[in-house]
Structure 1
Amino acid sequence: MSDKQMIEEEERAIYTGDHCLSCTSCMSNCPVMAAAKEYRGPKLVAPAHGRMHFSEDDTELSLDFCSNCKSCDRACPSGVAVSTLNMLQRAEYYRHHPHSQRDDMLAHGERMAKRLNAIPLGTTFANFGMSIGKSLGIFDSMGIAGKRDMPKYASSTFAQEFKKIQQPKSDKKVVFYPGCSINYNEPHIGVAFVKVMNKNGYEVLLDEQFNCCGSPLVVTGYLDEAHEHAENNVSRILYWKQQGIPVVACCTSCSLMLRQEYEELFGEQAMKDAGENVYDAFEFLEMLDAEGKFNTNINAVNQRFLYHVPCHLKTQGIGTPAVSIFRRIPGAKVELADVGCCGMSGNYGFKKDKYDISMKIGEKLFSRIKAAAADGVICDCPTCRMQIRHGTQTDPVHPIEVLAKAYK
């Protein structure tokens, strides 16, 4: 029996399935079900089948269709944590069945990135190898969507770039959680975040004891390993909470995992306590603005932006704080794409057997972007930006990049 303090049983996601009314709200709002008729729907995987707790030696045949976009959670009138229940059922399946090489690769991006960065020119050769692998069809043979470009590694990590930044000292501090994507693929986004926080009077700290949030592990069924990541990250967040220093993330999937999904998946009180000290970057800036502490000494940006709101931002229930902050940028105009899920959902769209589903889900967004009279596309989620780039041949950016460039 674990000695960890758990949250109250009625608050735990694992028990919410009993509140399912079979109303089909989750099914009518599921982007995967709309794109793949063979998917029998989110409520049939865990809220229904999961109640039997695998009492028979079978499993719901469409278990692997759920992308964990959480559209079902937001639609459920009874507060059933449908997607989380689906992830718990997926993990239970993989406790008794082997993972594929493809899933092992997609789940362990941080592990691979660390190994490559430990080798001289490792990332350079890896980028070249991925290009060759795509052209030779190697990724297809592994079950990875060969039509996609794999994310390229940056020549240096954010942690390395961070050490070069000369920050003004300040009594006001935040800890930045870069996540795997910013640390290994897009360090310039983290650099932009540091600039924005410095302009607002904050010194940014980096805790290199953090590891991957665990989202790629959860969606591929490595739940026990994700739990280990959660315990490490929660201990670090609580350490900073004790110092009165908030933890801020620029990736909406990371922030959702840190502040909400740990608690839903594992039900530990420490995870709930830690989640209270985690903020989305623009959420934090919006809080400063509400207190009259946001730096509005900003150059004009006379551009129109189309903003795709990530599913994992919507699930956090904090609105669209980037839109609020962009109203403070002179000349900037922001319009919401407002067409639902992009279809990428983390590593879901990288799977060969899910590629067509992913692209079909994204069709409305692709058409919206192509038809919009916008100067640029902005989005907080790295995999959403990958999907947009792939489906429209445009170059979306994180909104923090626009703000950083606009500051005088």
Structure 2
Amino acid sequence: MSEVTKKIEEMEAALFTADHCLSCTSCMSSCPVMEAEKKYLGPKMVGPAHRRMQFSQDDIEECLDFCSNCKSCERACPSGVAVSTLNMLQRAKYYETHAHSHCDDMLAHGERMAKRVRMLPGGPAIANLGMRIGKAMGVFGALGMAGERSIPPYAPKSFLQLFKDIRQPRSEKKVVFFPGCFINDNDPQVGVAFVKVMNANGYEVLVDEEFNCCGSPLVFMGYLAEAHEHADNNVAHIMKWQAQDIPVVACCASCSLMLKQEYHELFDDSKMQAAGRNVYDAFEFLEILAEKDELNTDFQPVEEKLLYHVPCHLKSQGLGVPAARILAQVPGVAVEQADAGCCGMSGNYGFKGDKYAISMKIGEKLFNRIKDADSDEVICDCGTCRLQIQHGTQAKTCHPVQILAKAYGL
């Protein structure tokens, strides 16, 4: 690698983008948290400012905790500053010398908890009952979580368990599915729909049980060292599949963003950047098939009016709206974009008790848009966005891949 190439790659790492900041306030004008919470000084005043000033004393801006890592600031920045990622790095720095709360530990380690639950006979049912009782008795609120919310229940069987019973046609064309924690443990039917869709397009779907959680909840809660361990493991397995020319595909926009982009931004590792090139969001991959005239368009009519909420972490991948473009080809489907900004959930942000009101205030525009829309269902590529929509509007929601599975008659 030449010195010039090395320098360019170094300048693309999140830590070094702080020096590109022009203090133009584009990040502040686009920040949904700043609009909802006046105590938040704004994105550029937290991570980027700390990085640029290189403070010689322990000095943490208290309002750093308000950042939801939605990445609206990064999309708005004209200078390419990784504002949100810098905020997450600064948050991790804070927790090097400060203890995490029980709430943080629980929300960051959903994968760990799910594995423990599924080790017990009838574990999911017992855990779901316990969570309902816990909510009714105010236990979660006492732990610092949003007592107004219901914790998403565990599915009776995980996606990985259901996958073992799916009979797929053998094919030379293969993809590896990265289910992520939410699909695997809470909403496995999204993963099942993905497998069916890929089978309809002549692909055999593989899974790699050695994958960990992508690490997004860990990063958000400041467990950066653990997130790095997850990244190292996942990247090693992605590159194993890359060597076999088999792409890795995710149905969760937060997972695909983390695997494709955020690992490299956070940890400045060239292997992570290379691995990211072998990762695709589900409809990104399907649109590539369409561009090559390889997408199966033998669709059955699906008479549904769909309102599409595009998640922030999909917007940050710069893909446009491939799900809307593909579903628009299905007879009977009418797709309209909500175009109402961030839902406010931002993964685990809206589950924190002290962030619940902010989360709901951010989501007001979307809630009103959904309530005013004449739609049969709201579609979204992010599981926690769907939870927020259900909580704020009681609307019926699903992943767009589930609509596509219907179009294939599956």
Tell me the distance in 2 between the aligned counterparts of 1:203 and 1:69. 33
Q: Look up the match of 1:307.
A: 308
- Deviation of 1:297 (Å): 1.0
Separation in 1, partners of 2:118, 2:8: 39
CA distance in 2, matches of 1:261, 1:378: 25
- Shift in Å at residue 49 of structure 1? 2.3
Q: Is 1:126 aligned to 2:127, yes or no?
A: yes
2:24 maps to 1:23: yes
Map of 2:236 onto structure 1: 235
Residues 376 and 396 in structure 2, CA contact (< 8 A), matched pair in contact too:
no
Q: How far 1:139 sits from its partner (Å)?
A: 0.6
Which amino acid is the alignment partner of residue 325 of structure 2? S
Query: What amino acid is the match of 1:242?
Result: A
Distance in 2 (CA, whole Å) between partners of 1:237 and 1:49 is 34
Is the partner of 1:244 in helix, strand or coil?
A: coil
**Partner in structure 1 of residue 157 of structure 2:** 156
Q: Map of 1:170-189 to 2, 5 A cutoff?
A: 170-189=171-190
Partner of residue 270, structure 1 = 271
CA contact (8 A) 2:302 2:406 kept: no
Structure 1: distance between partners of 2:334 and 2:213: 34
Whether the aligned pair in 1 keeps the contact of 2:15 and 2:51 (CA below 8 Å) is no
Give the Å deviation of 1:270.
0.3
Q: What's the CA shift for 1:7?
A: 7.9
Distance 1:160 1:49 in 2: 45
Kindly state the Cα deviation for residue 31 of structure 1 after the two structures are TM-superposed.
0.1
Contact 2:69 2:88 (C-alpha < 8 Å) held by counterparts: yes
Provide closer, same or farther for how the CA distance between residues 7 and 209 of structure 1 changes in structure 2, counting only shifts above 3 A.
Answer: farther
Q: Is the 8 A contact 1:91 1:221 kept in 2?
A: yes
Q: 1:91 maps to what in 2?
A: 92
CA distance in 2, matches of 1:7, 1:17: 15
Tell whether the 8 Å contact from 2:216 to 2:254 is kept in structure 1 after alignment.
yes
Give the alignment of 1:313-328 within 5 angstroms.
313-328=314-329
1:139: which partner in 2? 140
In terms of mean alpha carbon deviation, does 43-52 or 184-193 score higher? Answer: 43-52
Name the residue aligned to 1:44. 45
**For residue 349 of structure 1, what is the aligned residue in structure 2?**
350
Partner of 2:290: 289
**What secondary structure sits across from 2:364 in the alignment?**
helix
Segments of 5+ residues of structure 1 without an aligned counterpart are none
Secondary structure of 2:175's match?
A: strand
| Partner-residue secondary structure (3-state), 1:335 | strand
- d(CA) in 2 for partners of 1:66, 1:139: 22
Within a 5 Å distance, the mapping from 1:250-261 to structure 2 comes to 250-261=251-262
* AA at the equivalent of 2:28: M
Distance 1:307 1:371 in 2: 14
Q: CA deviation at 1:51?
A: 2.1
- For the residues of structure 2 that align with 1:82 and 1:400, how far apart are their CA atoms? 31
- Aligned partner letter, 1:301: V
- The aligned amino acid for 2:78 is P
Alignment coverage as a number of residue pairs? 404
Q: TM-score with structure 2 length normalisation?
A: 0.97
> SS in structure 1 opposite 2:365?
helix
TM, length-normalised to structure 1: 0.98
* Equivalent in the alignment of 2:60: 59
Q: Is the 8 A contact 2:310 2:380 kept in 1?
A: yes
Give the match for residue 79 of structure 2: 78
Q: Deviations over 1:92-113 (max 9, x none)?
A: 0001101001000000000000
RMSD: 1.1
- Alpha-carbon distance, 1:6 to partner: 10
Q: Which moved more, 1:322-331 or 1:188-197?
A: 322-331
Letter in 2 for 1:337: A
The equivalent of 2:246 in structure 1 is 245
C-alpha distance in 2 between matches for 1:125 and 1:59? 41
Q: Unpaired segments of 5 or more residues in structure 2?
A: 1-5
CA distance in 1, matches of 2:236, 2:279: 13
Q: What are the residue-to-residue correspondences of 1:351-370 with 2, within 5 Å? A: 351-370=352-371
Q: Distance in 1 between matches of 2:315 and 2:121?
A: 40
- For residues 247 and 7 of structure 1, the distance between their equivalents in structure 2, rounded to whole angstroms, comes to 27
Q: Provide the rounded CA distance (Å) in 2 between the counterparts of 1:74 and 1:39.
A: 19
Deviations 1:73-96 (A, max 9, x none): 000000000000000000000011
| Regions of 4+ moved over 3 Å | none
- Distance in 2 of aligned mates of 1:151 and 1:327: 30
Return the alpha-carbon distance in structure 2 between the equivalents of residues 109 and 189 of structure 1. 18
| Residues 151 and 309 of structure 1, relative CA distance in 2, 3 Å threshold | same
Contact kept in structure 2, 1:308 and 1:337, CA below 8 Å: yes
Contact preservation (8 Å) 1:175, 1:246: yes
**Retained in 2: the 8 A contact 1:342–1:365?**
yes
* 1:248-281 CA distance string (max 9 Å, x none): 0000000000000000000100000000000000
